[in-house]
Structure 1
Amino acid sequence: MALLEIRNLSVSFATSTGLFHAVQGIDMSVDPREVLAVVGESGSGKSVAMLATMGLLPDTATITADALRFDGRDMLNLSAAERRRIIGRDISMIFQEPIASLNPCFTVGYQIEEVLRVHLGLGKRERRARAIELFAQVGIPQPEARLSSYPHQMSGGQCQRVMIAMAIACKPKLLIADEPTTALDVTIQKQILDLLMTLQEETGMGMIMITHDMGVVAETADRVVVMFKGRKMEEAGVLEIFEAPAHPYTRALLAALPELATGDRLPTVSDFVDAEALAGGA
């Protein structure tokens, strides 16, 4: 049985000019111990689809689905209280920008201990011990001292490690990593990816890796979902995606990789496929 199963998920937003359809009829699933990469250009609906699954979209969003099941539970019919017991504990998410996701008014120690208090009901001494353990696990030096730091006193890479520690604090069954290496330098990117994959292997959790970086896909994924303009273009195993992509958009996405460029101008997807026509006919 799939850990997460999504069938015919659609998300639209009310705007001053009418409805904007951000996600249209998406199907996807992820199994325990599996890494599913969701790839596509910025604005393709990757993050919106996962935020809808988490129940973290604003009231202006309309979410519909034929099925949305996690670990055998029907997420569509859960009450708000029942959903809160799952989100943040059994399903957790690493957001794109750690500095923006962390509260600047509280120490990082307070913020991670709050997760442990709300979801696990740990006492003060237990919370602190677990927070130190988590900081050490994600490679934050001097973990006990760092609990007293505010987000602005830490580097981008350290803040991302704090976000990872918060996400794995309750030993989730599913971790959603939304562009976890955005805005980090190449060395730190590699460290964060290695850390995530090590944690995934050690805990056996399922993982959804949202990214536009095909190099990250090649290093981490078992299966790949390719999205464009809110729709799923293709789904296949990672080797199949790179060696024999079936959809024209997937082929164009791979052909537009900067490392494959040979001329004076970097290629774009539109150099290989009519993106607007593709969006209309997908």
Structure 2
Amino acid sequence: MALLEIKNLTVSFDTSSGPFMAVKGIDLAIEPREVLAIVGESGSGKSVSMLAVMGLLPPSATVKADRMSFNGVDLLGLDAAERRKIVGKDISMIFQEPIASLNPCFTAGYQIEEVLRVHMGMDRVQRRARAIELLTLVGIPEPEERLNSFPHQMSGGQCQRIMIAMAIACNPKLLIADEPTTALDVTIQKQILDLLVRLQAEYGMGLIMITHNMGVVAETADRVIVQYKGTKMEEADVLSLFENPKSNYTRALLSALPDNATGDRLPTVSDMLFEPAISGAAS
């Protein structure tokens, strides 16, 4: 049984000019201990698809799916209270822009411990001990002191590690990482990716990596879904995708990689309607 299974997911938003379809009939499945990358340019519906799974879209959004199940549980059939018992505990998400995602009014320790209080029912002593353990696990030096730091007192890389500590605090079965290396310098990007892959292997989690970076896909993923304008263009294992892409859009993405450039300028992905690959039309 798939850890997460989605069939025919559509997401639309109410706008002043009428409904805007952001996600158009996406199918997706991930197995335990698997790393799935969702790749595509900005606006392709990657984050919206996963926010729909988390139940974190605004009231203006309409989410429909033939099936959206986690570990055999129908997510769309749950009320808000039932869903909150799963989201944040069994399914966790690392959001873009860690400094913006952390609450500036509370210390790192308070924000980690709040997750443990809500989902694990730990007392104050247990929460603090677990928070120190988590900060050590994600590579934060002097964790006892860092618990008392506010987000603005930490670097972007440290804030990202705090977000990761919060996400894995309850030993989730599925971790969703939304552009986890955005706005970080190259050295820190590598450290964060290595950390996520190591934690995924140690905890046995399913990991969904949302990215527009094909290099990240090549380094981390087992399987890849390529999205464009809310549509799934192609799905394949990593080796097959890089060696024999099926859709024109995937080929255009790969041709724009610096390693594949043949001239002075990189090829561009023109703004046109690409047809999905036949093999990627269904999961």
Normalized against structure 1, the TM-score is what? 0.96
Question: CA 1:170 to 1:239, structure 2 compared with 1: closer, same or farther past 3 Å?
Answer: same
Alignment map for 1:39-58 (pairs within 5 Å): 39-58=39-58
The 8 Å contact of residues 229 and 279 in structure 1, kept in 2 or not, is answered as no
Counterpart amino acid of residue 260 in structure 1 = N
The 8 Å contact of residues 91 and 173 in structure 1, kept in 2 or not, is answered as yes
**Residue aligned with 2:183, SS:** coil
Match of 2:272 among 262, 271, 276: 276
**Residue aligned with 1:276, SS:** coil
Post-superposition shift, 1:265? 2.2
Structure 2 residue aligned with 1:209: 209
The 8 Å contact of residues 2 and 31 in structure 2, kept in 1 or not, is answered as yes
User: Matches of 2:258 and 2:218 in 1, distance apart?
Assistant: 15
User: Matches of 2:30 and 2:106 in 1, distance apart?
Assistant: 35
Structure 2 residue aligned with 1:88: 88
Structure 2 residue aligned with 1:182: 182
Post-superposition shift, 1:258? 2.9
User: Matches of 2:257 and 2:15 in 1, distance apart?
Assistant: 34
**Residue aligned with 1:278, SS:** coil
Counterpart amino acid of residue 115 in structure 1 = V
Alignment map for 1:1-282 (pairs within 5 Å): 1-270=1-270, 275-278=271-274
The 8 Å contact of residues 223 and 238 in structure 2, kept in 1 or not, is answered as yes
Deviates more, 1:249-258 or 1:231-240: 249-258
**Residue aligned with 1:209, SS:** strand
User: Matches of 1:258 and 1:158 in 2, distance apart?
Assistant: 29
**Residue aligned with 1:269, SS:** coil
Normalized against structure 2, the TM-score is what? 0.96
Post-superposition shift, 1:234? 0.4
Post-superposition shift, 1:129? 0.2
Counterpart amino acid of residue 117 in structure 1 = R
Structure 1 spans left out of the alignment, 5+ residues: none
User: Matches of 1:126 and 1:277 in 2, distance apart?
Assistant: 54
Post-superposition shift, 1:262? 3.3
Post-superposition shift, 1:279? 6.7
User: Matches of 1:204 and 1:277 in 2, distance apart?
Assistant: 38
Q: Deviations over 1:81-116 (max 9, x none)?
A: 110000000000000110000000110100000000
User: Matches of 1:267 and 1:189 in 2, distance apart?
Assistant: 25
The 8 Å contact of residues 9 and 63 in structure 1, kept in 2 or not, is answered as yes
User: Matches of 1:244 and 1:264 in 2, distance apart?
Assistant: 25
Superposed structure 1 runs of 4+ greater than 3 Å apart: 279-282
The 8 Å contact of residues 94 and 163 in structure 1, kept in 2 or not, is answered as yes
The 8 Å contact of residues 39 and 227 in structure 1, kept in 2 or not, is answered as yes
Q: Deviations over 1:12-32 (max 9, x none)?
A: 000010111100000000000
The 8 Å contact of residues 228 and 279 in structure 1, kept in 2 or not, is answered as no
User: Matches of 1:248 and 1:279 in 2, distance apart?
Assistant: 7
The 8 Å contact of residues 258 and 267 in structure 1, kept in 2 or not, is answered as no
Post-superposition shift, 1:280? 10
Aligned residues: 278
User: Matches of 2:11 and 2:43 in 1, distance apart?
Assistant: 13
Deviates more, 1:252-261 or 1:34-43: 252-261
The 8 Å contact of residues 256 and 269 in structure 1, kept in 2 or not, is answered as yes
User: Matches of 1:213 and 1:143 in 2, distance apart?
Assistant: 31
